[in-house]
Structure 1
């Protein structure tokens, strides 16, 4: 009777409160996917491959196995993932300029006063009286400059706006060229004095302009280096260290610069990716002014081989317009002979299949939503919006991605390996579903684990396994999972799943293991990694946001060989041993788990992707909120 005693437990409120904050980002699609390769994420990414400890509450004394458990089932708990936020722009504060000795209007005027209608007016006194607001970083830099009595004014001379000031304003008015909003940096020129007898009011207007322009130029420099918004305030899925921009020397550098516009331009990003995005933005804006109406295909169109549709002519016309020259040459006869009929003939199917293959879609000849999107493309307006967001996001990332790195672009469902700055590997990936999104973050690859265990994370046990286990306690035993309680292995039937428990659940290595043959680890707080999967069919789908957060690789051996600095044959030997073994990579490699709906390929051509998680919308809302806050408080 003893060996059949059931382990029981009661939930603790504190434990359940802790659980509610754990993100559900484990890598599996459904319960059926758990059987056939639905990967999960492990919080405990140790070299032993041990699974994550799940904590459901404290234990109580168990009842005899011969007696039915009389405790009422506790309500099914739920672990929810991160959420999106209403963006709150960085607050602004009034700058404080001390009213001390006079500041020079230019380096030739020692007193710093301006004579107007026979009266000497101290610009320092006027500067101390005006109210101009900026963020803390900008305000600190402006105050440090103007509270130094040895620093001259930057933008005023002899009571007039300088040519340097006008050039700075003109340069910032072109901020849209680099994906910024010119409204964020606009400063109204001071007005001519309506009453010459009031020089103090005129001086106050001049000093307000002086401080405001200094603040706006600093804001531009900070924005163009690190971005307008803090990505971590968009959602819990964003985890990017915000760059620090040293603003302290900037005003003095602009004072000394013979060409302030050139200086401001020099602060814009200059990476090959940013230059490609900027060039495409410029091209599309020019094209948008002259482009006529595009070809449209009716929403909901589904055209299969052998069928006919009133949209067939539009489909072929769009392919004729958007396909590559090579494809059009290959199918020149089909295109020349097509007369606009509704029938979807074998020749037209071959044309569509060629187009699908060219665009990385499943080449089955079926024209559905994904193929229509590829055929018609995004509108110029959509592309421009995507480029602006992409340029902002690129500012969030390191200035130099490095010579050797892995780049994962979630909307493209692709992973790339770069060596010496050149793309050497590209492959399809599966990323998190909309309800279990993959994070946007950077890290370093440290380990490749062969024949891994899958430590089942709390999110899958609580959200997906627990309901099944309450009706079928033998569920995990039948699937071959290992259940541990209090440091010792137990049968899943020994656990009273009607209450909550602190248990470990893991899946041993093998053909059905959710992580397949290997996983590539870059330990992070989100427990996301790259791995193999038995569910190979997912890679044939066009929309591959299907996991619980981790990144499944179509060619895991190829990626493992790349990061290990070896070849696929060596990786195969490691796997063939059947042993669970973790090997450190020879050198840590940066990995960028990114999210770009516009991104240049290895040829420098910008490609556009659907916003699978809707994140671009949150970024655009943050842009609007930031601009509104700056206009209201400037």
Structure 2
């Protein structure tokens, strides 16, 4: 690391070479960075060093981690030295900042023009120190944004119960100095398989938008096999533009159009009946700009979950109404799910925790919110209502309803717990999967099996209901016994509540992704069930994110 030379005053200058012919922004910035040189000027060397270091100390003082790094390194330059390592850092940083939009980040946030002007106008040791700190701050801002996200999740929506992640600034700077700068910049974004696929889809959609979109929307409320006419032509053309149908001149809703519609429905979480009903037409007519918003939001969400997810983990995508067991990045079990209803007090939150055990033949301990909002009003009208539930007093005794007057109680002073004993009619079904958390959310069976046949499945009080809970349990137990089904049913057949611990805890991630990129096939999109993505998009816009044009 090179400090200000003792032999003379260091003045940061840009050479006078003509850069106007370099048309591409990335090339221009790299060329400018390559032209930064330190020219010796006669003067008091020690005074120059002191001025340089004082400037660094002053301008880094508002960032505790940055100030610590400079202090521990003797206030030496990170970016503004003469040698090749400093040049490589400048080039790598300016290139990354100029191309921040390729990660769905706002280029203006990093003020590349301002940095270049500051570098160009540096004439004193103090100026040079200020430039060094400015470049360090820009680097730390970009590094944190591209690795862990622009936004604080819980500030956007309190139901996104994820803490903002960050890495210590000293660690970022140490990695930069110890490594190859260009490679360090490449390792900052999430390394998940999904992230580069989202970036690829972003570029594809930007190209579609630049080319004019997907053409005319499809009119009507319902189109089905056998139909003919102008609406079918527009449906055909839309499917061709979306990549679901080869070029055709057919004006009839034939088998090829039906197959294309079915594939589109599969990719968008719709009932795969091959009929273009109201919901299918609505999704077909979504503009590429709207899809691009979903992708940009998904990239931000991917940064929020940029942590070790576990070689084995459970992945619950609320918008997809599925729960999956993932082993080494592959889906080894998948089942349909029912998630929280759209009501403000019933929506399923987003968070991660660890599954510790399952309870077979569970008792349902009715949450107090449900007890006082739903069951107390019924008990006030009829003390014998909801007879399948038991009232428990503070001593743990069952309360007789004989002669009870529930009208005297309110939501605040209702003194009883409500429980439902184990049975096939139990609201939790015959098994629940526990990952203790402050939200009181878990995965469980349900007696309401008919809901799983529906296209949209947002009906619960917040917990996640599983269509195949027994098979889910077998898959979890298979890691600790050679006879998972036998073990499961041994507990089930007793009819008694039993806790079965998982020898190895399994991370559970409850996520919300409206844009998902499979390893093979087309992009998959889902509807914004709770409107959270729209909130995130507005927050991203406020932070300066734009839909943008094709990134070079």
Aligned counterpart in structure 2 of residue 430 of structure 1, from 310, 314, 338: 338
**Structure-1 residue corresponding to 2:164:** 242
Aligned residue in 1 for 2:9: 113
Distance 1:226 1:253 in 2: 17
**Aligned position for 2:78:** 154
Matches within 5 A, 1:79-118: 106-107=2-3, 109-110=5-6, 113-114=9-10
How far is the alpha carbon of 1:482 from its aligned partner?
Answer: 0.9
Q: Indicate which of 280, 302, 320 corresponds to 1:371.
A: 280
Q: Which shifted more, 439-448 or 575-584?
A: 575-584
Equivalent runs, 1:367-446 vs 2, <5 Å: 367-376=276-285, 378-435=286-343, 436-446=346-356
Within 1, Cα distance between the matches of 2:229 and 2:363? 50
Aligned counterpart, 2:359: 449
**Structure 1 Cα separation of the partners of residues 426 and 305 of structure 2:** 34
1:461 aligns with 2:383: no
SS in 2 for 1:269: coil
2:505 maps to which of 577, 588, 592: 588
Residues 268 and 524 of structure 2 are in contact (CA less than 8 Å); yes or no, is this contact kept in structure 1? Answer: no
CA separation of 1:133 and 1:293: change in aligned 2, threshold 3 A? farther
CA contact (8 A) 1:132 1:211 kept: no
Q: Who is 1:180 aligned against?
A: 105
Q: Does 1:318 align with 2:244?
A: no
1:110-161: per-residue Cα shift (whole Å, max 9, x none)? 367337876557364366469987896xx123212333573431222479x9
2:196 corresponds in structure 1 to 275
Q: Quick one: structure 1 residues 145 and 574, their matched pair in 2 at CA, closer, same or farther if it must change by over 3 Å?
A: closer
2:447 counterpart of 1:534 = yes
1:344-392 residue CA offsets vs partner (Å, 9 max, x unmatched): 799977875676467553245553343224444x433223222222222
Alignment-derived partner of residue 473 in structure 1: 383
1:511 to 2:421 alignment? no
User: How many angstroms does 1:203 deviate by?
Assistant: 4.5
1:622 aligns with 2:539: yes
Partner of 1:67: none
Contact 1:427–1:553 (Cα < 8 Å) also in 2: yes
Q: Is the 8 A contact 1:323 1:355 kept in 2?
A: no
Q: What displacement does 1:405 show?
A: 1.0
Deviation at 1:524, TM superposition (A): 0.8
Secondary structure, aligned partner of 2:353: strand
Task: Report how far residue 539 of structure 1 moved.
Answer: 1.6
Q: In the aligned structure 1, how far is the partner of 2:227 from the partner of 2:211?
A: 37
Aligned residue number for residue 48 of structure 2: 122
2:154 counterpart residue number: 232
Q: Show CA shifts across 1:260-317 (max 9, x none).
A: 232222222222222322232233334443354434134x724578989974443344
3-state SS in 1 of match to 2:336: strand
**Alpha-carbon distance between aligned partners in 1 of 2:303 and 2:61, rounded to the nearest angstrom:** 19
CA distance in 2, matches of 1:492, 1:357: 51
Question: Which segment is superposed worse, 109-118 or 148-157?
Answer: 109-118
Tell me, which stretches of 5 or more residues in structure 1 are unaligned?
A: 1-103, 629-634
Counterpart Cα distance in 1 of 2:298 and 2:61: 24
How far has the Cα of 1:170 moved from its partner? 1.7
Q: Distance in 2 between matches of 1:383 and 1:354?
A: 18
- Tell me which residue corresponds to 2:525: 608
Contact 1:512 / 1:534 at 8 angstroms: preserved in 2? yes
Q: Distance in 2 between matches of 1:368 and 1:135?
A: 61
> In structure 1, how many angstroms separate the alpha carbons of the residues matched to 2:501 and 2:169?
40
Q: Quick check: 1:207 aligned with 2:137? A: no
Moved more, 558-567 or 361-370: 361-370
Structure 1 length-normalised TM: 0.69
Q: Which residue is equivalent to 2:187?
A: 266
CA distance in 2, matches of 1:323, 1:135: 54
Given that residues 389 and 419 in structure 2 are in contact (C-alpha distance below 8 angstroms), is that contact kept between their aligned partners in structure 1? Answer: yes
CA distance in 1, matches of 2:195, 2:99: 16
Instruction: Answer yes or no: is 1:362 the counterpart of 2:362.
Output: no
CA contact (8 A) 2:55 2:129 kept: no
> Cα deviations across residues 66-88 of structure 1 (Å, max 9, x unaligned)?
xxxxxxxxxxxxxxxxxxxxxxx
CA–CA distance in 2 between the matches of 1:599 and 1:549? 23
Question: Structure 1 residues 450-459 or 570-579, which shifts more?
Answer: 570-579
Partner of residue 17, structure 2: none
The structure with higher relative contact order (CA 8 Å, sep 6+) is 1
CA distance in structure 2 between the partners assigned to 1:605 and 1:355 by the alignment: 9
| Distance apart, 1:467 and its partner CA | 2.4
Q: What is the TM-score when the length of structure 2 is the normalising length?
A: 0.79
| Residue 274 to residue 140, structure 1, CA distance change in 2 (3 Å) | same
Matched, 1:223 2:145: yes
2-structure distance, mates of 1:135, 1:597 = 42
Please, which of 339, 343, 363 is the counterpart of residue 251 of structure 2?
A: 339
SS of corresponding position for 1:591: strand
| Contact residue 9 and residue 43 of structure 2 kept, 8 A | no
- Name the Cα RMSD after superposition: 3.7
Distance 1:461 1:319, change over 3 A: same
Q: C-alpha distance in 2, partners of 1:621/1:228?
A: 13
1:586: Cα distance to partner? 2.9
Structure 1 CA distance for aligned equivalents of residues 186 and 362 of structure 2: 50
In the superposition, relative to structure 1, how do residues 611 and 292 fare at CA in structure 2: closer, same or farther (>3 Å)? closer
**Residues 154 and 210 of structure 1 are in contact (CA less than 8 Å); yes or no, is this contact kept in structure 2?**
yes
Paired residue secondary structure (1:489): coil
